[in-house]
Amino acid sequence: MPELDEISYSRDATVGAVRDYYAFLTKMYLNEDIVITPPEAGWPSITGADENLLAGLGKTDEVVGLLAHLPYIKADGDANHRAHGAPDCYFADWRALIRGLDEDKSNCDGLKIITEGYDFYEDAPPHVIGLTAGAYNPLFVLDTELGIVHWSDDCPGEIKLNPSREPVKDDPYEYAPENEADWRNDAPAWAIADFFELLKDQFRQLKFIPISPHTVTDVYIQGRRSEGMIPMLQEIYHEHGWPDLERYRKRECLDAIQKALEERYPDEADYRRS
């Protein structure tokens, strides 16, 4: 396990890790036009936001600067065509979220709750930011001082016990107040680049399984998936060349998955088109 003092934060490296992760997802299932990248000066909705509004989030200048330069899975427009970036998980589009603040469509506490979780948002220090957004999302919280991402206590036990990338070895009680340390202690953490590689490994191994350009399921949710559906999906991916990106036929694979689900598991099919 890497020690915490062996890890450092870099904005450029963080932006690169997120960009590379989203590019990977577009090769597997996402529509390419749903991933958006900022202009060189950053997202105008963030760089030009009212300073008093941003102050309400209680975040450091580095956090705000990072958000202004991250790529995003687009979350504005037609809500029916939002796309998962992990199983049952919407990544936060801070470009749109901060614009919503500016237009009085949301408030700072509400944004912190949906991105950092009800149990953590009041104890979260200014140098951390949530990467996901939604009431029932997994919580991925990035720390711009320590250079790590925490996956909250909803991280599947199989991943905690047998991760494909080594988690960070640290004792949060040595550097964080008790309430914050309690949360960190229950939420495994990885160096930022390793965290996104861990997620990609789950897709490569078909433990995270897209069923359309919008929806991702996984092998960890018990009692909810129709018997036989997961092996069927995995077989279809393998038949279409996955995980070899040189051989993988994305469009044909997604079409085959849609056809198989409609025929055998119609309640699980995603009937949205494109």
* pLDDT at residue 57, as a whole number: 95
Q: Tokens at residue 50, please?
A: 């009212």
Pairwise CA distance, residues 43 & 65, whole Å:
10
Q: Cis link prior to 156 (omega < 30° from 0)?
A: no
CB 57 within 8 A of CB 112: yes
Q: Please, where are the H alpha helices in the chain? A: 11-28, 44-47, 51-57, 61-69, 94-102, 108-116, 157-161, 178-186, 192-204, 229-239, 250-264
Q: What is the pLDDT of residue 274?
A: 62
What are the backbone dihedrals phi and psi of residue 180, each rounded to the nearest 5 degrees, phi first? -65, -40
**pLDDT for the residue 271:** 85
pLDDT reported for residue 223 = 53
pLDDT of residue 154: 87
H or E element that contains 75: none
Whether the Cβ atoms of residue 207 and residue 220 lie closer than 8 Å to each other: yes
CB 207 within 8 A of CB 170: no
**Within 13 Å of residue 141, how many CA atoms lie on the same side as its CB?**
32
DSSP state at residue 151: E
User: Residue 19's CB: how many other CB atoms inside 10 A?
Assistant: 16
* SS3 (DSSP) at 261: helix
Taking only the tens of pLDDT, the chain with its 274 residues reads 789 989 999 999 999 999 999 999 999 999 999 999 999 999 999 999 999 889 999 999 999 999 999 999 999 767 678 999 999 999 999 999 999 987 877 899 999 999 999 999 999 999 999 999 988 889 999 999 999 999 997 899 999 999 999 999 999 999 999 999 999 999 999 999 999 999 999 999 999 999 999 999 999 985 556 789 999 999 999 999 999 999 999 999 999 999 999 999 999 999 886 6
The model carries a pTM of: 0.95
Strand, helix or coil at 265?
A: coil
